[in-house]
Chain A
């Protein structure tokens, strides 16, 4: 009993500070945002209320639901692009490189860009794709094109490339982890049974690596669905994403209730995707032991 009381005392000694901090700066703010999403906008700011008008507006006004659809579409395309780029790299790291030292080195090399300034990595695509940019000047210099093309920058293509570039390491990590877990005996068995390399890959390796792909897709989808930096830098007039609209509503539009409602919708989209991928992963889990 005495041990028990001391444990409780130790627990609160340790935990009181963090508990206060977490509720004050994390839980309460999220709840306040939820609360404001039911408020009514009234010049110059907003007044407390409880009504669903802000959410109704998001569904009814094409300006808002189109942005939601666009964000989902772009985030999906980023996930697919990141998958296409990452899979061969992850596959090579896990299956083709025999030296542990090199594998670790290349793996670290793959994930280091994650922490190299996000902003700069988005910005550098602006310098590459711009009409006076590196790609254009290269193509003109080599004589492929005569006039600088404005096709590369300020559109959805530029957004997808830039975000796929930024978030690719998030795909490589889980795909690599799942590929590495596949026992080589399974691959050998497949070969012994007469399957060629392509069908071994399609029937054994690829399905068994799907949990990693799913996790990677979840990361890249959620991260790009909520991004407003790349869209601002490389997206054009028709590239507004959810987070851009949230930023505008909390900024110059001064419509916090609408911005909060949109933020809550974004929050639920992200949590839904995470939950869904969790379920899928669990349902499809195969015991390899």
Chain B
């Protein structure tokens, strides 16, 4: 019984602050404090008509979408190479690839900054996109690799035996089998990119992403507008993550985190 209460409080601890954020996004007191004074949608209206915030939101969508494209373009071939070929330095390569999700983000951030500065590249949304692509590809690699490891290669052989060309086998056999891992990990990469600060902080030029905008506001103080946009982000990412977790899980027992395990 005691353990049940402790577990329930742990869940309460995990969700309490998030729910608090949501409740206060509807409270009409400009100061985030109790008691609640009344309901309002004013903060949502203010947030959604704030041009800086909207510009940052749009930038974040672009960055996250482009980062996912990089993650897939690099991550899927990498996962295949790790799954299907043996090559010299494979162990080191595998460790290197997951470093960005193992090490604190700030290390990846400053090292890519040093790289760009040495190459004379000017900071912009493009540098942010490259940074996110680098930092987040490991999510796709680990998830797709895990799925490929479980994949029964004999199905591909059967497909080849009955006359399918390699690309046909890939499109009709291999791809459908890893599809949910690909979609799930893309959604996670998108969500993480959408919220990324440690890398973005060092690589962004004049343009802000949404988390950088929120960061610059909340460092100065607390405004209910942030509660409102925060609630929208929370609901949006919860739905996205719920779908992707189900996709990656796919009825199996491995951890759907995409992080080191």
- A interface residues (Cβ-Cβ under 8 A, vs B): 7, 11, 14-15, 17-18, 21-22, 25-30, 32-33, 36, 85-86, 88-89, 91-93, 96, 104, 106, 108-121, 123-128, 130, 132-134, 136-138, 141, 165, 168-170, 172-174, 177, 215, 219, 222-223, 225-229, 232-233, 243, 246-247, 250, 256, 259-260, 263, 266-267, 270-271, 274
Contact = CB atoms under 8 A, between A and B. Distances in A.
Interface string B224-261: 00110010011001101110011001000001110111
Given A115-B240, A117-B194, 8 more contacts: A7-B85, A14-B77, A96-B3, A117-B233, A127-B227, A132-B32, A165-B17, A223-B104
B97 A127 contact: no
Contact of A246 (B13, B110, B260): B110
B214 A119 contact: yes
Nearest to B104: A226
Contacts of B162: none
A165 B13 contact: yes
Interface stretch (B45-53, B150-158, B172-180, B196-204): B196-204
Given A15-B77, A29-B111, A173 B14 contact: no
> Interface SS of chain A: helix, strand, loop or mixed?
helix
B10 A134 contact: no
Nearest to B14: A113
Going nearest first, the 6 A-B pairs with the smallest beta carbon separation are A226-B104, A88-B6, A137-B33, A92-B7, A29-B111, A29-B115
A115 B32 contact: no
B99 interface: yes
Nearest to A259: B110
Contacts of B230: 117, 120, 123-124
Given A14-B77, A229-B198, A134 B134 contact: no
Chain B binding surface, main DSSP class:
helix
Interface residues of B, number: 83
A85 B7 CA distance: 8
B39 interface: no
Contacts of B41: none
Contacts of B105: 226
6 contacts: A11-B87, A33-B110, A88-B3, A116-B237, A169-B14, A263-B110
Given A88-B6, A274-B102, A219 B114 contact: no
A260 B14 CA distance: 35
A219 B7 CA distance: 21
Contacts of B130: 25
Contacts of B35: 137, 141
Contacts of A168: 10, 13-14
Given A92-B7, A226-B103, A233 B113 contact: no
Given A30-B111, A123-B214, A137-B33, A18 B198 contact: no
B197 A118 contact: yes
Contacts of B249: 104
Contacts of A228: 106, 198
B186 to A, nearest CB: 13
A281 to B, nearest CB: 12
B85 A15 contact: yes
A174 B81 contact: no
B11 A173 contact: no
Contacts of A226: 103-107
Nearest to B116: A29
Contact of B257 (A26, A85, A114, A130): A114
Given A26-B100, A114-B257, A92 B3 contact: yes
A11 B85 contact: yes
Given A18-B74, A137-B34, A127 B115 contact: no
B118 to A, nearest CB: 6
A112 B85 CA distance: 34
Contacts of B134: 25-26
A153 to B, nearest CB: 11
B218 A133 contact: no
Contacts of A243: 104, 106, 198
A177 B255 contact: yes
B139 to A, nearest CB: 11
Contact of B110 (A85, A136, A260): A260
Nearest to B22: A124
